[in-house]
Amino acid sequence: MEFLIALIALSAMEIVLGIDNIVFLAIVTSRLPIGQQPQARRLGLLLALVLRILLLLTLSIMLQLDQPLFDLSDIGFPKAAWIEAAQHDIADAEQAVAAADPHAANLRELEYEVVKRKEWLHTIDEFSGVSGKDLILLCGGLFLIWKSVHEIHAKFAKEHDSGGAAGSKVSFRGVLISIGLMDLVFSLDSVITAVGMVNAHGDSFWIGISVMVAAVVLAVCVMLAFAEPVSHFVESNPTLKVLALSFLLLIGVMLVAEGIGTHFNKGYIYFAMAFALLVEMLNLRIKHVTTQLEPA
């Protein structure tokens, strides 16, 4: 029963995490000839499935990705000085809490200051230690930012180019390479989430792996089912395509932040994206109604 609940919860989470994957596929494949777009999307999602399963089967290596490869203090980062200053600030804050009246109105603020400074100390350690996961997220985020900005520029260039040449300079192989690179980043995020949600240790190792693989397969099947309608919908609404590119740009910034040790609550990011999408859907609906009411 425990693993069934984990399968349902993980499948739902993988589907949510797969939204950015679908959006990226829709944007990147939209500049291919129409006949090649469905094939590119299917190959992209199948590649994502293979990558995620391979990453799950190398779970021991995946867990080592969080281990620092090197420390920035080795190349001049002032880690020791920052840690000393942070520890001094923590000691001062703790003394202020100890000296305060237990019934003082600002006691909670003083206690929060201690917590905040301890978090800053932890952030220094995370920021200075560079792991394989950090490098993958950083490079993936930078690539996604570049790709999003490039696609936005190409869209504006296409709008001002009567021949539409801006949209023709793309190859099937180049699209697959772009998809493969981002699949690696999205797959890493997906697998790390899976590892955190399912118990895959000791006697439960293979059962946990089976649950994670099943959840990934289910999520990719859902993405395969929705990739085509989402792609057509995004392509047929230019303003929605710009919004989707903005989402990818935001995700790229988030990946870069994660790569340098700054963690975001992804719930806030997805809520902002959902709210922006709701506003855009209302705009599209109003535009549709207004068009119908206009006299012929």
Q: How confident is the model at residue 166 (pLDDT cuts 50, 70, 90)?
A: very low
Q: Is pTM, for the whole model, over 0.85? A: no
Q: For the chain, what's the residue count?
A: 296
Is the pLDDT at 110 greater than 70? The verdict is: yes
Residue partners of 10: CB distance under 8 A and separation at least 6: 193, 194, 197, 198, 211, 212, 215
pLDDT of residue 197: 65
Contact 264, 257 (CB under 8 A): yes
Instruction: Give 28-68 pLDDT, tens digit per residue.
Output: 888 788 888 888 888 888 888 888 888 877 765 665 666 77
Over residues 136-155, mean pLDDT: 81
Contact 221, 17 (CB under 8 A): no
Ranked by mean pLDDT, the top range of 75-79, 146-150, 162-166, 222-226 is 222-226
pLDDT of residue 65: 65
Ranked by mean pLDDT, the top range of 144-148, 194-198, 206-210 is 144-148
Q: How confident is the model at residue 164 (pLDDT cuts 50, 70, 90)?
A: very low
Q: How confident is the model at residue 206 (pLDDT cuts 50, 70, 90)?
A: confident
Q: Which residues pair with 295 in a beta bridge?
A: none
Average pLDDT, the chain: 77
- Please classify residue 173 by burial: count the beta carbons closer than 10 Å to its beta carbon, then call 0-12 exposed, 13-18 middle and 19+ buried: exposed
Over residues 272-281, mean pLDDT: 84
